[in-house]
Amino acid sequence: MVGTTGQSLMLEVQKQVSLQALNSFGFSSIADSYTEITEPSQLPLLIDYCQAHKLPWLLLGGGSNLVLSAHVPGVVALIKLQGVDITSLEPPYVRVRVAAGEPWHETVSWLLSQGYYGLENLALIPGAVGAAPVQNIGAYGVELKDRVTGVDVYDTLQGQFTRLSSAECQFNYRDSLFKSVEPGRYIITAVEFELFTNPDHLVLNYQALQKTCEVLAGSQVITPRHVFDAVCQLRRNKLPDPAMLGNAGSFFKNPWVSQAKYQILRQNFTDLVAYPDAGGYKLAAGWLIEACGWKGKHYEKVGVYAKQSLVLVNYGGGDREQIESLATQISDSVHAVFGIWLEPEPRYYP
């Protein structure tokens, strides 16, 4: 137990705890110390404890964007903060504050069932709500940043709870303040979304999504429920369920290249998959990896998923070293052929 006399809130710290069920790769990993956070007020205790003992800390949500080593020093704290509050309801908008420990997909599903729309394109993304802002999760034309009004955090530098506006979070493609600007400083305790109370704000720019929705809706008007179901169907067809086959979703970001670089690539690779983006082009990293012959390849106990080359998987018994080595081999070969370095999406720890 950690906690000064007179404090009713305590942290129960366990030693040598397995994290295998807490990371979506399913890597065997042992934390020196482990605790669970069920109340925001435990966070100052946790940080004081780690600072006093000069220990590193790792906050864990769904563990779906992590590559863990076999041994994790310091304290691992699983965020189990729960609760959903409607903070304002002024149709056509509703603001909802969701605690960081709530599971993402179940939250999206519940909000839809309440008639609060806008997150259905992000259905079935593994992980917890509190991890979603870190890498600004995105899929099928919607990013988290499009729906966030504020993120509640514990600022470990100032030792205080505060709210960051969406602008302060510096969201970018698979990036944020929490990931690259000041990693480790803020602990996310809740996220506030602004959603719609009427069902006509559909984002159907993705051709495959539009087509699947049309099939599901038949002669009816497409609704957010159709979008939700279509996204689930598309994801299930292409992406492995971490409960069945360990993975961390896309392992690399889709790289951005300038117009000039794109033109050169296009001359040599006529079927290159690319989308105009911010004055240049976003390339489909999955296509680059497949073009280098990696699709479905096994390497020791890990490999490249056979239906989506952007996803690396653990066939059982794989570990961080194997994934890191495979990722490096892939990255080197993509660089050798296309002159582009791929950037990994998940975080290696430690």
> Which residues sit at the interface with ligand EPU, rule CB under 6 A?
139-140, 238-239, 249-250, 253-254, 273, 284, 286-287, 290, 295, 308-310, 345
Q: Of 25 and 287, which CB lies nearer to ligand EPU in the complex structure?
A: 287
97/295 with CB nearer ligand EPU: 295
Helix (H, G, I), strand (E, B) or coil at 292: coil
Shortest approach of ligand EPU to residue 250 CB, angstroms?
A: 3
- Among candidate residues 102, 120, 194, 345, the one labeled active-site is 345
Closer CB to ligand EPU, residue 193 or residue 251?
A: 251
Q: Which residue has the tokens 């709870």?
A: 161
Please, what is the minimum distance in Å from the beta carbon of residue 30 to ligand EPU?
26
Smaller CB separation from ligand EPU, 65 or 189 = 65
The answer to whether the beta carbons of residues 80 and 37 sit under 8 Å apart is yes
Beta bridge partners of 313: 247, 303
- Catalytic-labelled residue, pool 29, 250, 309, 331: 250
Residue whose CB is less far from ligand EPU, 135 or 189: 135
Please indicate whether residue 250 is annotated as part of the active site.
yes
Closest-CA residue to 310 (of 233, 252, 231): 252
345 is an active site residue: yes
Closest to 128 in 3D by CA, of 65, 181, 86: 65
| Residue 256 one-letter amino acid | W
DSSP collapsed to 3 states, 114-160: CCCECCHHHCCCCCEHHHCCCCCCEECCEEHHHCEEEEEEEECCCCE
Q: For strand 93-99 and strand 347-349, is the pairing parallel, antiparallel, or unpaired?
A: unpaired
Q: How far apart are CA 41 and CA 147, in angstroms?
A: 27
Per annotation, catalytic residue among 33, 143, 166, 174: 174
Q: Which is nearer to ligand EPU, 2 or 312 (CB)?
A: 312
Q: Residue 197 Cβ, how far from ligand EPU at the closest point, in Å?
A: 25
* CA separation for the pair 42, 77 (Å, rounded): 10
CB of 195 to ligand EPU, least distance (A): 20
- Opening angle at CA 248, ends 283 and 148, nearest 5: 75
Give catalytic residue positions.
174, 250, 345
